[in-house]
Structure 1
Amino acid sequence: MVVGNATAVIEFLLIGISNYPEWRVIFFTLVLITYLSTLLGNGLIIFLIYFDPRLHTPMYFFLSNLSFLDVCYGTASMPQALVHCFSTHPYLSYPRCLTQMSVSLVLATTECLLLAVMAYDRVVAISNPLRYSVVMNGPVCAWLAATSWGASFVLTAMVILSLQLHFCGANVINHFVCEILSLLKLACSDTSLNVLMILITGIFTLLLPFGFVLLSYVRIVAAVMRIRSAPGRFKAFSTCGSHLTVVTIFYGAAIAMYMKPQSKSSPDQDKFISVLYGALTPMLNPLIYSLRNKDVKGAIRKILTKRA
């Protein structure tokens, strides 16, 4: 991002929750609980997968990546929201704003791609169980995870490098964190290229992965329907339904933010929508994907038994 010579803005004022002072205590409490739950749940998953050899499988390899992402993603935004909650002047310097925005974009993009990879992993496991260990071997899993990270860095760099913005004195961001769409609203220079770049990257990181996830779950449901046991079908549908609900919240909220016409964008609405994919899903992911799993429950019992 380049700031022109006429630009006087060197720091930004984050409104956050300050325009709703009566909600500050409730907001702070909810965000704090959410952040601590995110750290505890995802940290526990990483610990269990690392120390229990029975969890050294492709599915748990991707889950550990997802948990690591969620810890980083939550840490990139929630502590800042907490600190600024009761701050009289919640200013953020230009370099910190750019850094925080770039890190959040990389992590969010990686999670979008990784969720699609995880859906593919489940399709292979259910549709072709006899060849699962061959298809999803160690190098393939590492390559898929690395590709998700690498592609997110490239796509984020494309968006960030296209930001040639001039700020003519406006420095008030109506958001909890430094967010790209809120930043574009302050620019007095032409942002049509930036909006186009966000739209293009959104297609590759939101619409296509979400479509792939939905198609994957259609195949999974078709495979589940062939299960003869009624309790087995119910359990599978319950698990798939939980996964799909969380995935839909994550992709749906992000699509509602980044893929709609900016002329119809409401700053207050957008910043609360961002809480769904920026705070809620990182907290729910370990509960939905891992902590309800019998293998993870067994790993927890094993560790508790050893300590006892």
Structure 2
Amino acid sequence: MWVITRQIAELLFCAKCRTMQQRRKTMSTKPPIIFITPEAKTALETEAERASASGDLVGGLLFGHSPDERHRIIVSFVRPRPETGFGKKEFCLDQSRTSQQLDRARELAAEAHYCGVWYVHRTPDQELTDEEWVQTQRVLEDPDFRFKDIVCLVICLYFGDLNTYALSFDLQQSARGQLPTPTQLQLTTEAVSALNLVKPSQPPPPPPPPADWYKSPDVARRLALEREQLAQGYHVEPAVTPGGKVIFRLMPKHRHEDMVFYIACEPGFPDQAPTAFLSLRGDRYPLLSPSLNEWSAKQRLVEAADNLVEWQAHLLDQKIAAADEALERGDYQEASDLLVMVQVRL
């Protein structure tokens, strides 16, 4: 019996080693650099020294923000109350009872939000325990917050020696069962120079286009040609908005004569695609079509208008057919919703 027990133990140990090796194979080649304010770091280390060495999971949540893809800034932290279940399967951020602490963090940085977790280890090992890994995963994958990645700080307090380590954990690592990636941890006093290297001075943005952009000779000729071509198949009423949009109100002459829709051209036309919409009681409803999605400067507005009419007619036929089916099976609410959508487009 002892031999069998030892073999089982060895197999479990080997399996755990393989799991850890797999977790270490991370795809994140460049994890973000973590910055923390001196005040937050000092307070966090003080909290770690106060924490009892009970053997239970000790930790909490971090507050901070992301100035860009390569940096995370931690401004504060909180240790949730035991009744919130931090470290247990049922824990979730919106029930963590930490809204007041989050408000205080936002007094330090207006952009602050939940950004990660922290744990205390009574060993020199910064690697997360299985329990900590599961808790970190639950925070990362919280459906109400949709994080791409989170920060994980591990404070190792071992025989009076205190060290703080930073890790980055993203969705890809979570899906593959991998461990968080170690990354740099620096004080925010070092952040200014680092962020300046990432964000070198940029040239000033180009000036906005003039409000009368449509009066430039090339654009004016193009718009006149567009109106002439549209008039062959549509009743056309052009207008210019105070913001400088050139809008054509269109009604087909031959088919679907009752349909009224609008095509709008903005600064950048014809290189920039026009947009289309319906107007009903002062509200605008955008229209989409393959022609608009694949717009190029070589296309003409009349081609886009024809495609819009065909596409909207096709969609209306589908909605009416679906409404008929809903009526046949007695689903009057769905039929009503579908017919309202048809009415909007007529």
Larger RCO: 1 or 2 (CA < 8 Å, sep 6+): 1
TM over 0.5, shorter chain: no
- Which protein is bigger by CA-based radius of gyration? 2
Q: With structure 1 as the length reference, what TM-score do the two structures score?
A: 0.24
Structure with the larger strand share: 2
Structure with the larger helix share: 1
